[in-house]
Structure 1
Amino acid sequence: MESASARMMLLIGSGPGVGVAVASQFAQQHFDRVALFARNPQQLQKDREAVLASAASVNRVVVVRTWQVDISDSSRLQQALSEVEQFGTLECVYFNAARVDSSLLFQFPLESIEEDFRVSASALYVTSRWAVPLLLQKAQSDSEADWKPSLLVTSSLLPKDPIPELFALSMVKAAQANLVKSLVKTFTPQGVHVSLVVIGGQVARDALALNPTKIAELAWKLFDQERKDWTAQVTLHEDGTVDWSPSI
């Protein structure tokens, strides 16, 4: 399939949990091309193989490419985004990147806080500034009315209920959520579905609800909403309940 007509999703923050699960789910359901960003080249190769296998299991042929990117480096991130633009026609960005580590008040280095902001907030800003104009083109094209231009971001309940032992992550997730809310107010009325996938607790493969597969299935339902039904958030709680109204 020519790149100009290939539906592409970009997943930033690929990895063995939510990232690869979302990419696999979306490849099974809809996308012709999947671009994966992460820092670890070995993990990227594993993720690529997993996405290809998932698509093949439902008889779909998908092209998957990987980019080794440290998204805290804005110059490298912008370069990679420019390269991705030649890979296919952007329909969805799923931003899943975060640095999840313990941080104790007054003991966590300032430099590490700034690094966390670059990963979760600044990189999302750079990505959005690149992606939204491309997504708006699809939103405003009558010939491609069935496209679903979307910018989806993994979030948590930390913006509402911070954990002092994770204060740095709590800070940056709050900043990230507010950036997303500003994007929602500005660009959702113009036809780009901007939304948060709020994970209401700790993700684990053996968790009843908060496992990567369940989260990916919910993310797909969010992406697949009809425009009249768009929501700006969806939350999956530890008990398995799903809330489509704002929780943060």
Structure 2
Amino acid sequence: MSSTRGALVVVGSGPGIGSHVARTFSAHAFKRIILLSRDPSRLEKDAEFIRSATPSADISTLPIDLSKTSDIPAALAAVDKALGNTPLEVVLFNAARVGPSTLVEWPMEELELDLRIKVTGCYAVAQWAIPKLLQVKDNLKPAFLCTSGSIYKDPLPEVFSLSVCKAGQHNLVHSMHKKYKDEGVYCALVVVGGVVADENPECNAGNIANKTWNLYEQRDDHEVEIIDQ
């Protein structure tokens, strides 16, 4: 196992889980980091947040809009260019659109949009990432990690669209875990059972980031669930 880390790619960066996970991984020698978000204006703030802990981090920021399926290949080609000669080692898929959705009243087009971002988008990134991760299984610790929520198994009607998408996403990544665990690529979910807020003892971004690192290092199961009691 090489002591040199590959790159971490965060799809769906932001001031919460995405940037905190990137900063935690950077503190554990992941110095090459690529951040993607549909809101490019906040990416540089995320990069500075990571550099505040790891000044030597080499960070690239790129836009991606997973709701536009036809644009995804070009966005991932830009990631390939940003990677250069650095092998991909870890992907964190953290893209989501969070908000209320009322059963029956929620427009079908909005449900389809959510599915494109969270499920089709996750699959598209996996199609791109898994072959690269398989290539480094002998000398790195390749992983595909995905943030999820307890609503995948205990849905809330008030956010049924998010619940439906998290169920599909969980099924996809769990299937990936079964398929690739014996082939050398670890696929797992970080299941957050509550609202992410600084004041919460468990469901705060810093704790979630630490739990994500422990999940990545220990590789005991296909998920870790984080809940405030």
Shared fold per TM-score greater than 0.5: yes
Q: Could you give the per-residue CA deviations for residues 48-99 of structure 1, whole angstroms, max 9, x where no partner exists?
A: 111111213xxxx110000111122223222222222232210000001111
User: 2:61 is matched with which residue?
Assistant: 66
- 1:6 deviation in Å? 6.1
Are the aligned partners of 1:193 and 1:230 in contact in 2 as well (CA < 8 Å)? no
Partner SS state of residue 104, structure 2: coil
CA distance in 2, matches of 1:111, 1:170: 16
Alignment of structure 1 residues 1-248 onto 2, 5 Å: 7-56=6-55, 61-86=56-81, 87=83, 88-139=86-137, 141=138, 144=139, 147-225=140-218, 229-239=219-229
CA distance in 2, matches of 1:18, 1:6: 21
Are the aligned partners of 2:188 and 2:222 in contact in 1 as well (CA < 8 Å)? yes
CA 1:6 to 1:159, structure 2 compared with 1: closer, same or farther past 3 Å?
A: closer
Task: Tell me the TM-score normalized by structure 2.
Answer: 0.94
Partner SS state of residue 36, structure 1: strand
Q: Could you give the per-residue CA deviations for residues 142-166 of structure 1, whole angstroms, max 9, x where no partner exists?
A: xx1xx11000000111111000000
Are the aligned partners of 1:95 and 1:154 in contact in 2 as well (CA < 8 Å)? yes
CA distance in 1, matches of 2:50, 2:76: 20
Q: Could you give the per-residue CA deviations for residues 181-201 of structure 1, whole angstroms, max 9, x where no partner exists?
A: 111111111010000101111
Task: Tell me the TM-score normalized by structure 1.
Answer: 0.87
- 1:236 deviation in Å? 1.1
Partner SS state of residue 151, structure 2: coil
CA distance in 1, matches of 2:160, 2:200: 24
Aligned residues: 223
Where structure 2 has 5 or more consecutive residues not aligned to the other structure, the ranges are none
